[in-house]
Amino acid sequence: MNPLALYIHWPFCLAKCPYCDFNSHVREKTDISDWKRALISDMRHEAALTAGRPLTSIFFGGGTPSLMPPALVETLLLEAQRLWGFAPGIEITLEANPSSVEAANFAVLAGAGINRVSLGLQALDDPTLRFLGRLHGVSEGLAALDVAQQHFERVSFDLIYARPEQTASQWKDELSQALAMGTGHLSLYQLTIEPGTRFATLVREGKLTPLDDDQGAELFEITRELTASAGLPAYETSNHARVGEESRHNLTYWRYQDYVGIGPGAHGRRLGTATVRHKKPENFLRAVSEQNHGISEERLLPLREQAMEALLMGLRLTEGISPPALAARFGMAEQDLIDPKACDSLAKMGYLNVRETHMTVTEKGAPLLEALLADLVSDTLVSP
């Protein structure tokens, strides 16, 4: 049976970070009883459409899910187990801010069923944390990491690099410090200036200058080298793990398998249909009260669109893809999925490894992934 994952979005934060374009909102008050009813109703709607498929992973994202009352987390997990059932060894992840207040709930969250936590450390020096709009300092963040490692089976944390004026030497030192902390997973993201963020405004006003592409590429290479040497090689463009500690939930996305998404702004993809929930919390609550779910858009995906998404997602992974299997999955010829001339050319230039039934992007090609994908996709796949 194909894996099924559940994503639960908690949209609230204490403050909006200047780089963040996620669906996050600052509210003085939230009525937990309203959110409990709405999220359970939204969950039941999805369960009715995917019955009989036990969950292989659950991911609480946001926003800041560690601001959720642990009792609500436990209630949602019990309901998910009742509706779908849990596959053996289910991975249940919660994103958390590394503050002392939230760390105080880690033991209770572990007791509620959370077995993996992803901490938003983001940087390991205080001036950078202030630049990124984070509310914690380094000492508080490291203390929270220590508490997390005491209570959860698996721990990951995020860092943002390729920041303005960041040097190769600085990043080497910071990443080496991060790797010494002993977690089995790291998410390492290059800073990107997203439209609609405070950073985008500062760039437009000439008050912020992003690191240039060549310097970013150098830091990307350093990231690959140091993580591989430390036994946490990249398994996806921005994610690194010891063998067996990859995020099974995120692998569901990248392998183009089914997941249901509940909560404000959550995306889902199940049974060939893409779903999007209302983004604004108040609109989401209103929709659930009127229709028993928060869906604002539901669209059956054409097979060509599914095939293209599966190709683009799969080549982000170090494991790569099997073009024949992918073509067979979507009922098309292999040459209608991948341009054979572009494939041969990119392989000769050292950007792709192509074997009889498998394709991966090389270390040389990884920093150029978006450009490679644009060349590689068959015209048949993208033509209207």
70 with 128, same domain: the answer is yes
Within-domain flag for 38: yes
Residue 303 has pLDDT above 70, yes or no: yes
Number of domains in the chain: 2
pLDDT at 382 over 90: no
Give how far Cα 304 sits from Cα of 144, 253, 267, 336, Å.
45, 18, 20, 9
The confidence score (pLDDT) of residue 286 equals 97
- 372 and 225 in a common domain: no
Give the mean pLDDT of 299-312: 93
Tens of pLDDT, residues 134-175 = 999 999 999 999 999 999 999 999 999 999 999 999 999 999
Q: Where are the beta strands (DSSP E) in 286-349?
A: 295-300
The answer to whether position 36 is within a domain reads yes
Which of 253, 274, 295 is the last residue before a domain boundary? Answer: 253
- Claim to verify: residue 231 and residue 370 sit in the same structural domain: no
The reply to whether 374 falls in a domain is yes
How does pLDDT run across 168-194, given as a tens digit for each residue? 999 999 999 999 999 999 999 999 999
Hey, what are 121's tokens?
A: 């450390």
Stretch 325-351: mean pLDDT = 92
Q: Which of 253, 272, 294 is the last residue of a domain?
A: 253
Same domain for 161 and 235, yes or no, is yes
Report CA-CA distances (Å) from 359 to 78, 112, 292, 349, 354. 41, 41, 43, 14, 5
> For residue 314, is the peptide bond before it cis, meaning its omega torsion is within 30 degrees of 0?
no
Structural domain includes residue 19: yes
Instruction: State how far Cα 264 lies from the chain centre.
Output: 16
Burial letters for 191-207: b for 16+ Cβ neighbours within 10 Å, e otherwise? bebeeebebbebeeeee
b/e code 117-136 from CB counts within 10 Å (16+ = b)? bbbbbbbbeeebbebbebeb
| Residues 213 and 338 occupy one common structural domain | no
Q: What is the pLDDT of residue 1?
A: 58
- Per-residue HEC secondary structure of 96-146 comes to ECCCHHHHCCHHHHHHHCCCEEEEEEECCCHHHHHHCCCCCCHHHHHHHHH
Reported as a single tens digit per residue, the pLDDT across 225-242 is 999 999 999 999 999 999
Above 90 in pLDDT, residue 383?
no
End-to-end distance of the chain based on CA atoms, in angstroms? 33
Q: Is residue 160 part of a domain?
A: yes
Residues 246, 308 within the same domain: no
Shared domain for 248 and 312, answered yes or no, is no
Tell me, yes or no, whether 131 and 198 share the same domain.
yes
| Residue-range definition of the domain harbouring residue 223 | 4-253
97 and 221, same domain (yes or no): yes
Q: How far apart are CA 227 and CA 367, in angstroms?
A: 16
In this structure, are 62 and 164 located in the same domain?
Answer: yes
Structure tokens at 216: 């970013």
Residue 32 sits in a domain of what CATH number? 3.20.20.70
State whether 245 and 164 are in the same domain. yes
| pLDDT, position 321 | 95
Around Cβ 109, how many Cβ atoms within 10 Å? 25
Can you give the pTM of this predicted structure? Answer: 0.94
Amino acid 380: pLDDT: 73
Check residues 205 and 373 and name the one with the higher pLDDT.
205
Q: Which residue has the tokens 């009525």?
A: 31
C-alpha distances (whole Å) from 288 to each of 6, 83, 280, 329 are: 18, 18, 12, 35
Distance CA(145)–CA(102), nearest Å, equals 11
Residue 276: inside a domain, yes or no?
Answer: no
> 377 pLDDT band (50/70/90 cuts)?
confident
- Please give the torsion angle defined by the CA atoms of residues 147, 150, 153 and 157, in that order, rounded to the nearest 10 degrees: 30
**Residue 381 pLDDT:** 75
In a domain, 367, yes or no: yes
181 found inside a domain: yes
Q: For residue 378, what pLDDT is reported? A: 83
Instruction: Please tell me the least confidently modeled range out of 3-12, 19-28, 299-308.
Output: 19-28
88-128 pLDDT, tens digit per residue, is: 999 999 999 998 889 899 999 999 999 999 999 999 999 99
Of all residues in the chain, the percent with pLDDT exceeding 90 is 86
| Adjacent-strand bridge partners of 62 | 10
Output the six-digit token pair for 24.
Answer: 């996050």
The residue behind tokens 């970013």 is 216
Whether residues 237 and 154 share a domain: the answer is yes
384 has pLDDT over 70? no
State the CATH number of the domain containing residue 349.
1.10.10.920
Distance CA 252, CA 80 (A): 18
Q: How many CB atoms lie within 10 A of CB 184?
A: 18
End residue of a domain, out of 253, 269, 284: 253
As a whole-number percent, the residues of the chain with pLDDT over 70 amount to 99
